[in-house]
Structure 1
Amino acid sequence: MSRGFEWFDAFREVAPEWAVVLLGLVTQLGDVWFLGLIVGVAYWGATARRDEAAAVLGAMVAGLSLITGLKHVFALPRPERVLVEAGALPAAVQPLHRATATATGYGFPSGHALMTTVVYVSLAEYLSVGTRRQRYLTAAALVTAVCLSRVGLGVHYLVDVVAGVGVGLAFLVLLWRLLDRYPTRRGTLGLGLAVGFAAIAVATSDADPDAVLLLGTSIGAFAGWQLPALARGLEAGHGPIRTSRPLAARAVAVLLAAASLAVLTSIYWPEPLLAASGVLGVAAAAFVAAPVLYHSDLENCLRRQSPSRSQ
């Protein structure tokens, strides 16, 4: 399968050496660490719309699993060209070049293109900053900038980023249809889909390390979302668990997730990858549950104090 790269030589002839550093910095807008940071901040800060923020978090994790599986299904290499050789740069910026402007692994479709599409368009849909049109224009500009940086650096063909954006948009359309059908369960559906996509990625990638780590993370995040909901239901008098189907389902989900993570972190501790997957799952559960539980405790505290203030 030829994906073409004819125009790259002409671009490399006119591009200055410092362009590789600039493009490398731009491409960080689509790196997992940066996307995870902004989605995490949005989740912790979204006290009034946390269910939608949890759905965005689930979409991000599901997107990571989706791109992991697709790369292994197609198994197409990256271009064998670079914009600037590291040795041609000053020694002071060579570490920055290696950290920001290089890539390994399979190239089709582009993970940066798919993930920026999933995350930035999801945030544009669910955030309340500015107008909807402004949010979508910003998302489109960020996705375009990251895609151009990947092609400009020589780590992807143009068709790779186009396919990444296309798959990301198709994924979002299907996801939003499901979320809009069950608007009160967006967090559960988003994080539940993340578990399903992670399991598929493990199967299609022949247990690639990234897929295994994503499986543990998604299981933990799903359990972390269910635990506060279970606690709130019991506190509101919707129990006992054995007489309430929704609470029973949440309890089973939490127990299954906890058992899975316990197996990964204890029984398989001699296997570093499985142990790391379990540890990431526990961390994800704590990350997802903590702000919900804190906000619930704060509301209860304020509710108890309100009568005394009125006297």
Structure 2
Amino acid sequence: MNRGVGVTDAIRSGVPEWSLEAFSVLSLLGDLLVIIPALGVLYLADVLHSLSRGERNQSLCSDQTAFLVATVFGGLALVVLLKATFAFPRTPAEWHVIEPSEYGFPSGHTMAAMVFWGALVLWLQFDRRSVRLCVAGVVVSLVGVSRLALGVHYLVDVLASMAFGVVYLAAIAWITQERPERAFGVAVIIAVLSAVVTGGSERAILALGGTVGAAIGWWVIERSPVRQQLFETLDHKH
């Protein structure tokens, strides 16, 4: 099967050289270098907001934010698992504008963008949902097109990634009933499977470490003694 269906090579050959840097920047919207810090900022902002309210008997991080963080980590681990399971080759090396990882299906950047931006749309309340959906759709599409323009994926890779991302978001919401502890459990299971299937590849170990670390960090900071200590430290500073 030609996964490019005649589109990828046409885009790659038709994209002017001066635009490639812009496509590289757009690709970052589905990159771990953007997604992981964004999750950290989101989590810290939620915790700091809780501390400022002074509600000592409430969770420092809302269930909504914790569920979102768990969902994204699980999605990132699923990317590693799917790539190793299918193990489909990349596009021809002469098309590559950047140095890609080994496997080309699905598109990791596109799926990561779908999971991250899709989760923001579904579980963060800001602006109207229709506006959020439009913004997320544009961002994910731009990431997908950028991967084609950079010559590292076929069209089928990108479209399949979007489908995988949608199915994953729907599945984890249904399986966990949007409860963060269940979402972290599912995320850890996916990360462990990715480590087993890949034989402990570097990416799989990083995904497992990040997922387990996020789960433990969330669990620890929500323990009552830790919460009280944080509030007492804040009181002393004031």
- State if a TM-score over 0.5 links the two structures: yes
Contact 2:26 2:143 in 1 (8 A): yes
Per the alignment, residue 121 of structure 2 pairs with 124
Give the deviation of 1:102 after TM superposition: 3.5
Does the alignment pair 1:109 with 2:109? no
Per the alignment, residue 244 of structure 1 pairs with none
Residue 37 of structure 1 aligns with an amino acid whose one-letter code is P
Residue 158 of structure 2, aligned match among 143, 157, 161: 161
Give the deviation of 1:12 after TM superposition: 4.1
Per the alignment, residue 136 of structure 1 pairs with 133
Give the deviation of 1:220 after TM superposition: 2.2
Per the alignment, residue 55 of structure 2 pairs with none
The percent of aligned pairs where both chains have the same amino acid is 31
**Distance between the aligned counterparts of 1:111 and 1:295, measured in 2?**
40
Unaligned runs of 5+ in 1: 86-100, 236-292, 306-311
Q: 1:164 to 1:10 in 2, by over 3 A?
A: closer
Q: 1:18 to 1:211 in 2, by over 3 A?
A: same
Residue 221 of structure 2 aligns with an amino acid whose one-letter code is P
Give the deviation of 1:156 after TM superposition: 0.3
**Distance between the aligned counterparts of 1:170 and 1:58, measured in 2?**
16
Residue 127 of structure 1 aligns with an amino acid whose one-letter code is L
Per the alignment, residue 70 of structure 1 pairs with 82
How many aligned residue pairs are there? 224
Residue 4 of structure 1 aligns with an amino acid whose one-letter code is G
Q: 1:12 to 1:205 in 2, by over 3 A?
A: closer
Give the deviation of 1:296 after TM superposition: 7.2
Give the deviation of 1:44 after TM superposition: 1.4
**Distance between the aligned counterparts of 2:13 and 2:206, measured in 1?**
41
Per the alignment, residue 6 of structure 1 pairs with 6
Q: 1:168 to 1:295 in 2, by over 3 A?
A: farther
Q: 1:301 to 1:216 in 2, by over 3 A?
A: closer
Q: For the aligned residues, what is the CA RMSD? A: 2.4
**Distance between the aligned counterparts of 1:217 and 1:146, measured in 2?**
23
Q: What pairs with 1:2-151 in structure 2 (closer than 5 Å)?
A: 2-47=2-47, 50-80=62-92, 101-151=98-148
Q: 1:9 to 1:111 in 2, by over 3 A?
A: closer
Contact 1:82 1:153 in 2 (8 A): no
**Distance between the aligned counterparts of 1:7 and 1:45, measured in 2?**
42
Does the alignment pair 1:227 with 2:220? yes
**TM-score, structure 1 as length reference:** 0.65
Residue 224 of structure 1 aligns with an amino acid whose one-letter code is G
Contact 1:79 1:156 in 2 (8 A): yes
Unaligned runs of 5+ in 2: 51-60
Larger Rg: 1
Per the alignment, residue 191 of structure 1 pairs with 184
Q: What pairs with 1:268-307 in structure 2 (closer than 5 Å)?
A: 293=226, 297-298=230-231
**Distance between the aligned counterparts of 2:118 and 2:36, measured in 1?**
14
Q: What is the DSSP-based 3-state SS (H/G/I as helix, E as strand, rest coil) of the residue aligned with 1:46?
A: helix
Contact 1:124 1:132 in 2 (8 A): yes
**Distance between the aligned counterparts of 2:44 and 2:94, measured in 1?**
39
Q: 1:11 to 1:301 in 2, by over 3 A?
A: closer
Higher relative contact order (CA 8 A, sep 6+): 2
Give the deviation of 1:297 after TM superposition: 3.0
**Distance between the aligned counterparts of 2:152 and 2:96, measured in 1?**
12
Q: Deviations over 1:83-112 (max 9, x none)?
A: 586xxxxxxxxxxxxxxx431210001111
**TM-score, structure 2 as length reference:** 0.84
Moved more, 113-122 or 205-214: 205-214
Give the deviation of 1:204 after TM superposition: 1.2
Residue 175 of structure 1, aligned match among 172, 176, 196: 172
Moved segments of 4+, more than 6 Å: 299-302
Q: 1:300 to 1:195 in 2, by over 3 A?
A: same
